[in-house]
C-alpha cells in the first residue's frame, strides 16, 4: 500500500519530518495489488522498473474519516485540482538514508473524475472500515509525472 496525501494550497514538502507539512492531509492509500498498472509508474520512479502500463490514473482507497474524502465524495466533479503526494513505501517505519526517495510529488495538480476504466476494485471483505473509492487522474509536466522528494 502506498500512502496518499493531498494539499490544495502548496506543493512544498518537508522531507525531514514525520509528516510532509501541516498543509498536507493524509487521505488514504493506493492498494498497489489492485492497482497494478498504476503501481508500475511508482516502481519506475523508485528505480525497480523501466516501463509503465496503462494511464497515469488510479482509484484512491480513501479514508472515510478524512475530512477531505468526506467533502469530495459527495461532489466529485466540483473538486478543484489539488497537489498529490505519495509515500511509495506506505506508512511503516522506514529508516531513510541520505538522498533516498521518501515521497513522489505529482509534477502537476491532480483531478478527481467520476470513474475510470476499469471500474473501481472491490475492497477486501475483511476490512473493518470500507474505504471510499475515488478516481484520480494525474497530469504530466515537461514529460514527468512525479518529482521525487529526497531526504537530505
pLDDT for 3 equals 96
pLDDT on residue 51: 95
pTM, entire model = 0.92
pLDDT on residue 18: 83
Contact 8, 21 (CB under 8 A): no
Of 93 and 29, more confident: 29
Reference 45, options 83, 100, 96; nearest CA is 100
pLDDT of 99 higher than 80: no
Average pLDDT over residues 33-43: 95
Handedness of CA 85, 104, 150, 92 (dihedral sign): positive
Average pLDDT rounded to a whole number, residues 86-113: 85
What one-character DSSP code corresponds to residue 73?
Answer: H
Give the pLDDT score at 93: 63
Residues with Cβ within 8 Å of 102's Cβ and at least 6 positions away in sequence, in order, are: 15, 87, 96, 149, 150, 151
Rounded to 5 degrees, what angle do the CA atoms 62, 65, 70 make? 70
| Cβ-contact 138, 77 below 8 angstroms | no
Mean pLDDT of 8-37: 94
Cα–Cα–Cα angle for 99, 104, 131, rounded to 5 degrees: 135
Supply angle C-alpha 30, 26, 46, rounded to 5: 50
- What's 110's DSSP letter? B
Dig out the grid coordinates for 99 from the structure. Answer: 538522498
5 DSSP β-pair partners = 26, 85
Residues 59-93: tens digit of each pLDDT: 999 999 999 999 998 887 778 999 999 999 987 66
Q: Which among 15, 29, 33 is positioned nearest to 103, based on CA atoms?
A: 15
Tell me the backbone φ, ψ of residue 8, rounded to 5 degrees: -100, -5
Query: Which range, of 1-10, 89-98, 139-148, averages the lowest pLDDT?
Result: 89-98
Amino acid at each position: 500500500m502506498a500512502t496518499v496525501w493531498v494539499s490544495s494550497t502548496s506543493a512544498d514538502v518537508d522531507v525531514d519530518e514525520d509528516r510532509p507539512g501541516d498543509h498536507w492531509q493524509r487521505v488514504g492509500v493506493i492498494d498497489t495489488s489492485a492497482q497494478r498498472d498504476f503501481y508500475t509508474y511508482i516502481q519506475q520512479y523508485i528505480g525497480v522498473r523501466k516501463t509503465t502500463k496503462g494511464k497515469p490514473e488510479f482509484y484512491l482507497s480513501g479514508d472515510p474519516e478524512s475530512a477531505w474524502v468526506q467533502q469530495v465524495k459527495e461532489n466529485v466533479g466540483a473538486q478543484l485540482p489539488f497537489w498529490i503526494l505519495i509515500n511509495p513505501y506506505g506508512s511503516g517505519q522506514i529508516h531513510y538514508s541520505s538522498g533516498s526517495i521518501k515521497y513522489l510529488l505529482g509534477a502537476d495538480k491532480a483531478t478527481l473524475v467520476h470513474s475510470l476504466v476499469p471500474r473501481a476494485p472491490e475492497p477486501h471483505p475483511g476490512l473493518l472500515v470500507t474505504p471510499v473509492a475515488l478516481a484520480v487522474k494525474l497530469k504530466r509536466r515537461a514529460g514527468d509525472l512525479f518529482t521525487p522528494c529526497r531526504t537530505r
